[in-house]
Amino acid sequence: MAVSNDDIASIAQSIRGGKTALGIEFGSTRIKAVLIDEHYQTIAAGDHEWENHLDNGVWTYPLEEVWSGVQAAYAEMAHDVETAYGEKLTRVGSMGFSAMMHGYLAFDKSDNLLVPFRTWRNSMTREAQEELSELFQYNIPERYSIAHLYEAVLKGEDHVPSVSFFTTLAGYVHWKLTGKKVLGVGDASGMFPIDPATKQYNEDFIAKFNALPKVAAQPWQVQDLLPQPLVAGQDAGTLTPEGAALLDPSGTLEPGIRLAPPEGDAGTGMVATNSVRVRTGNVSAGTSIFAMVVLEKPLEKLHPEVDLVTTPAGDMAGMSHANNFTSDLNAWVRLFGEFSALTGHKLDAGTLYGTLFNAAIAPETDANAGGLLNYCFYSGEFLAGLDEGRPVFARGPEAKMSLGNFMRAQLFSAFSPVKIGMDIMTKAEGVAVDSLVGHGGIFTTPKVAQKILAAAFNTPIKVMSTAAEGGAWGMAVLADYLWHGETALDEYLDSRVFAGAQAVTENPDPADVAGFEDFFARFNEGLSIEKAAIKAIPLEEN
């Protein structure tokens, strides 16, 4: 959309006056920086692609890449500002950082990293996960930070007695830029369970954890190792001179900028979809996928398939989280892209994805994907009982192999793992959902993923105009909320951020619902195929 000279002048004035907010999110495959104005419109953006890799069997990112990546994303965003508005970006009104949740970044008293960053993608904490879930009678998934710490305790890892502080990726970045060891309550809830009444770590669970024999033998208590939880709108420190130089080595960015509490991608997803109110929910789809609903009341039973986290305001939400979503899908799209290029008709990404995705909902495509079967597991998946993953496509000799059925099987497969936990919430626990909003890049292609998701959950799916903005935009909104803390977060989002926001709703088609259920039954029955592939195909490190 063309921007008028008057609009450019107005935005430039907002930039000079510091009436902006910056959100930067560390996703699994991309670090994105988004600058918004006082009307919550994106006025500049930058990004940097990165990828985790296996290091001695551990999925990790080197910390050097954290900083080179965020500097690149910030520099691109700042260049965007200067190019579009003729302004050097010396300050913003407020800023905040978010990242993929969970994982394990442990430091000693001299602030040295003790072991390589263990991301959410690792599933080597089964013993700790089972023991802590039983101890607390509260689900502690494998990727939670406390599971990583306790697994290291159980295994007697050498670094454990030296741990002085552990945190998430967002918490680490925030700490280095402000000197504050704090964490947004939503991200903190993925480290250690939060008491929604106090918005702090559950004290009963803290006492039970410290009393475990192998923990009691350590020279620390867990409450002294954790970052302080903060709710949205609370002061989380300011950008230090060292932090400003670390984010912007050019020296243009000034210190002293207010920072919001660092949040996880679940929290920024809730904000980006206006889903922080009770009985609202969202589905955040990227390299991993999670579906979450803000709960009216606690779940009646312990369900290992349902994680309990909080909104950025500290209210409890149930979440079905799957480690795997678009990695396998993107690999197949790249393959089709290579083929189109070889024919002399190279397609841009939008056309390529749009063409393939639309084939999945074409009239001639079978509702159940024609009997085709796909497993999207690049890595382990707790929901499916898998410690490792191997992408697998399979079909019987009588299955109907067509492009539409193939792409439908890919999309059905991507949404199948997260359906397991969502079914438990809605069917077993009777969790009520007034609205469910989808967001993430997969929803950029109109209707397709929205229609498939409506079939998977058998519920209307809304996609808002901000769907592709994702977590970085949501984090920028949380940064702006620092100036509006007197208003409850849900009211702030309703009355200011999303007032008049446009949205498209896709209702479930009964034929699609039946087709998905048929595929999902075959998906579960055929999991032995995936388990055989794990045994037969060695895991290669890169």
Residue 85 neighbours by CB under 8 Å, 6+ apart: 8, 11, 12, 15, 43, 44
pLDDT over threshold 80, residue 519 = yes
Name 307's bridge partners.
319
Residue 461 neighbours by CB under 8 Å, 6+ apart: 283, 436, 437, 438, 450, 453, 454, 505, 506
- What is the per-residue pLDDT for 209? 98
- Distance, in Å, from the CA atom of 150 to the CA atom of 257, rounded to the nearest integer, reads 36
154, 128 in Cβ contact below 8 A? yes
89, 82 in Cβ contact below 8 A? yes
CB 182: neighbour CB atoms within 10 A? 22
| Cα radius of gyration rounded to whole Å, the chain | 23
Q: For helices 448-457 and 510-525, give the axis angle rounded to 10 degrees.
A: 70
> Mind listing the pLDDT tens digit for each residue in 238-289?
999 999 999 999 999 999 999 999 999 989 989 988 999 999 999 988 888 8
pLDDT over threshold 80, residue 529 = yes
pLDDT over threshold 60, residue 3 = no
- Distance, in Å, from the CA atom of 109 to the CA atom of 112, rounded to the nearest integer, reads 7
- Distance, in Å, from the CA atom of 236 to the CA atom of 475, rounded to the nearest integer, reads 14
Say what the pTM is. 0.83
> Mind listing the pLDDT tens digit for each residue in 376-429?
999 899 889 898 999 999 999 999 999 999 999 999 999 999 999 999 999 999
- Distance, in Å, from the CA atom of 288 to the CA atom of 189, rounded to the nearest integer, reads 18
- Give the DSSP H or E segment for 94: strand 94-99
Report helix, strand or coil for 307. Answer: strand
- What is the per-residue pLDDT for 382? 82
| Distance (Å) of CA 284 to CA 137, 275, 441, 442, 447 | 27, 11, 9, 10, 16
82, 74 in Cβ contact below 8 A? no
Residue 479 neighbours by CB under 8 Å, 6+ apart: 21, 22, 23, 93, 94, 95, 96, 258, 259, 260
pLDDT over threshold 90, residue 2 = no
Beta pairing class for 280-285 and 263-264: unpaired
pLDDT over threshold 80, residue 154 = yes
Q: What percent of the chain has pLDDT over 90?
A: 84
- Which whole number is the average pLDDT over 210-230? 98
Residue 52 neighbours by CB under 8 Å, 6+ apart: 28, 59, 60, 61, 119, 121
- Which whole number is the average pLDDT over 168-184? 98
Residue 373 neighbours by CB under 8 Å, 6+ apart: 393, 394, 395, 409, 413, 519, 522, 523, 526, 529
- Which whole number is the average pLDDT over 10-17? 93
Domain boundaries, the chain: 326-418+514-536
> DSSP characters for 148-163?
HHHHHHHTT-TTGGG-
pLDDT over threshold 60, residue 542 = no
Report helix, strand or coil for 443. Answer: helix
Which two three-digit tokens encode residue 405?
Answer: 């059925």
Which two three-digit tokens encode residue 135?
Answer: 């101890």
Which two three-digit tokens encode residue 205?
Answer: 């669970």
Secondary structure of 39-87 in HEC code, one letter for each residue? CCCEEEEEEEECCCEEECCEEECCHHHHHHHHHHHHHHHHHHHHHHHCC
Look-up of token digits 């994907």: 369
Q: Which DSSP category does 118 fall into?
A: B
Which two three-digit tokens encode residue 323?
Answer: 């480690």
- Distance, in Å, from the CA atom of 71 to the CA atom of 81, rounded to the nearest integer, reads 15
> Mind listing the pLDDT tens digit for each residue in 427-473?
999 998 887 998 878 888 889 999 999 999 998 999 887 655 678 99
One-letter identity of residue 98: S
pLDDT over threshold 60, residue 52 = yes
CB-count burial class (<10 Å; 0-12, 13-18, 19+) for 190: buried
> Mind listing the pLDDT tens digit for each residue in 331-387?
999 999 999 999 999 999 999 999 999 999 999 999 999 999 999 999 899 889 898
pLDDT over threshold 60, residue 1 = no
- What is the per-residue pLDDT for 466? 60
- What is the per-residue pLDDT for 5? 67
- What is the per-residue pLDDT for 7? 86
